[in-house]
Chain A
Amino acid sequence: GAVVSQHPSWVICKSGTSVKIECRSLDFQATTMFWYRQFPKQSLMLMATSNEGSKATYEQGVEKDKFLINHASLTLSTLTVTSAHPEDSSFYICSARGSVYAYEQYFGPGTRLTVT
């Protein structure tokens, strides 16, 4: 089956610094990748959608200058949290879709970000 990995699985950073999270599709080419955020005991909320080679589309209320998304290749998307604050502490999950016509998304294992 299709596998999506994320790196790192957990990260602790100091307030004001930036942190990058990688999402990779290991055995398929992902034309579209999605980034979700999940706060404790809450469900997943879509942050942004990125298509390979294009600018990401952000959901309402998500600051695009704070959450930088790059989808430079068909197997890699990165999410950079810039000038992180404690309120950015959350569980970030990516998913990938093989083509614009596909309906299945494959989810990564998630990255736990803690900002101190």
Chain B
Amino acid sequence: KQEVTQIPAALSVPEGENLVLNCSFTDSAIYNLQWFRQDPGKGLTSLLLIQSSQREQTSGRLNASLDKSSGRSTLYIAASQPGDSATYLCARHNYGQNFVFGPGTRLSVLP
């Protein structure tokens, strides 16, 4: 069974802190690993997509890494801001197959 887990389930930090969100998956033969942001009651916003052959992707204050051998991906957020408060979901998918989502990490950045 394909499984994706995320820790922590929830995180509260003061503004300005750097933080790391973790995502683990059981199948190392993944094709892509994607990080999404979801605001309350809203759909998904794609943040970063790491293809299986890649090790990391960066966009602004966000950096995502992928280690297939250990079955882990991390999302690093630098200099967090209150506007970063949301639920962060990671999802893995193999070629031609469906996305399997993790349960998410609910992030609160306090001003």
A108 within 8 A of B: yes
Contact check, A43 vs B89: say whether CB atoms are below 8 A apart: yes
Is chain A's interface secondary structure helix, strand, loop, or mixed overall? loop
Q: Are B102 and A107 in contact (CB under 8 A)?
A: no
Q: How far is the CA of A43 from the CA of B105 in the complex (A)?
A: 10
Q: List 16 A-B contacts (CB under 8 A).
A: A34-B98, A34-B99, A42-B103, A43-B89, A43-B102, A44-B44, A44-B101, A45-B101, A95-B99, A103-B31, A105-B93, A105-B99, A107-B43, A108-B43, A110-B41, A110-B43
Considering the chains assembled together, what is the distance between the CA atoms of A110 and B42 in angstroms? Answer: 6
User: Are A93 and B44 in contact (CB-based, < 8 A)?
Assistant: yes
Known: A109-B42, A110-B41. 14 other contacts (CB 8 A): A6-B43, A41-B106, A43-B101, A43-B103, A44-B99, A46-B98, A46-B99, A93-B44, A100-B96, A101-B96, A103-B32, A103-B96, A104-B49, A107-B46
Q: Of residues B31, B41, B98, B102, which shows the largest number of chain A Cβ atoms within 10 Å of its Cβ?
A: B98
Of chain A, the residue at the smallest CB distance from B89 is: A43
Instruction: Give chain A residues whose Cβ lies under 8 Å from the Cβ of B102.
Output: 43
